[in-house]
Amino acid sequence: MQLRYNFRLYPSAGQRESLARAFGCARVVFNDGLRMRQDARDAGLPYISDGDLSKRVITQAKKTPKRAWLGEVSAVILQQALADLNTAFRNFFASVTGRRKGRGVAPPRFRSRKDNRQSIRFTKNACFAITAGGRLRLPKIGDVPVRWSRPLPSDPSSVTVVKDACGRYFASFVVETSAEPLPETPDEVGIDLGRTHFAVLSDGRKIGDPRFLRRAAKKLRKAQQALSRKQKGSANRKKAVVRVARAHARVADARRDWAHKQSTTLIRDNQAVYVEDLCVSGLGRTRLAKSVHDAGWSQFVAMLEYKAARYGRYFGRIDRWFPSSRLCSACGTVATSMPLDIRSWSCPCGAVHDRDVNAAINILAAGQADRLNDRGARVGPGPVPAPRGEAVTHPKPHTRQTGISIH
């Protein structure tokens, strides 16, 4: 199982200059390769292979006066920049031909020196190392101080150095780890993600929405207003841009830390976790877009997914068209409609439901039903759900157990 471990870097002034040079060289190689393939397509020439492209934009380019400065950085980061370009092209072709499922992938585009995020990647071939003093030794950059928040479980196979919009540097290590199964527990939980509360659990507990972006709106507005008053191209405008970026970074860091804590608690306390497969990208285009993005549902669900795989738990997604809110968890009757302003409703059978709690109970039952094999035997611990009433007209909900995707 591969995981990423991120740590803060504190390069010196000279090392920051070397990193800026490395970022620029990797960006130029990526853009040169993309431009060469686009020119070949426009001229009706065959697609340039990966090996031939590497010779042209790296090996031969270093011998020309125009690109001689490419030799000032490690050749590995240049090769990795081309590897990213090749991966982008393969994903685009697979999406166009239908081999890649899901949303369409756009063709690769040119990288800009004004991008908010700059990165380079070193592999084992670059001979990067962690010194005895705890520093990260990078070729042609030097020994960079690292703030270690936890030890690495194994030797990293690669490290990506990232500079974010507010000027912070991070080292992202890819390490191979083994599963760490937690003690089994009979508890299982269904989770209904919502707008009134961040999450409502099938046992009736409600997790409030911290709304980090809403709470920081005043500071963000003042920082953005100060930025708008600065003259374009001035030094003060550059400082104001960094202040706005830092304000947004504080919001993102707080949201990520909170999501880690909540997801770890849910995975630790439950043997199986079921969530609804929400279309977050679609909700992000509605009038609720700001609240949807502030909640960070996709990030939270991704954490549940990879932590479940790591700690020996089961993770399941319920089909997004499953009527969890309209389905009575007591008798199985499906209501005709359920506007968002209705937070509680009564079923003809006499049951009175809290909309969100009822949805979480139905998500739990649907997930448990899918884990029953063809013979009706239970797969893994947990109670068997009660049979549904005859009034249910929707098809059997579908859940799927997914692998790890944390890169």
Phi/psi at 19 (5° precision): -65, -40
Q: Which residue has the tokens 């991008």?
A: 115
Burial (CB < 10 A; 0-12, 13-18, 19+), residue 225, is exposed
Beta-carbon count within 10 A of 92 CB:
16
Q: Which residue has the tokens 């909170």?
A: 258
Beta-carbon count within 10 A of 363 CB:
31
Q: State how beta strands 272-276 and 314-318 pair.
A: parallel
Question: CA Rg, the chain, in Å?
Answer: 26
Distance, in Å, from the CA atom of 336 to the CA atom of 350, rounded to the nearest integer, reads: 17
Distance, in Å, from the CA atom of 157 to the CA atom of 52, rounded to the nearest integer, reads: 26
Q: State how beta strands 272-276 and 188-193 pair.
A: parallel
Distance, in Å, from the CA atom of 129 to the CA atom of 198, rounded to the nearest integer, reads: 42
Looking at the DSSP assignment, which residues form a beta bridge with residue 170?
A: 8, 162
Distance, in Å, from the CA atom of 187 to the CA atom of 272, rounded to the nearest integer, reads: 7
Beta-carbon count within 10 A of 170 CB:
16
Cβ atoms 205, 37 nearer than 8 A:
no
Cβ atoms 337, 326 nearer than 8 A:
yes
Cβ atoms 346, 352 nearer than 8 A:
yes
Q: Which positions are catalytic?
A: 192, 276, 356
Nearest CA-CA partner of 263 in 319, 302, 208: 302
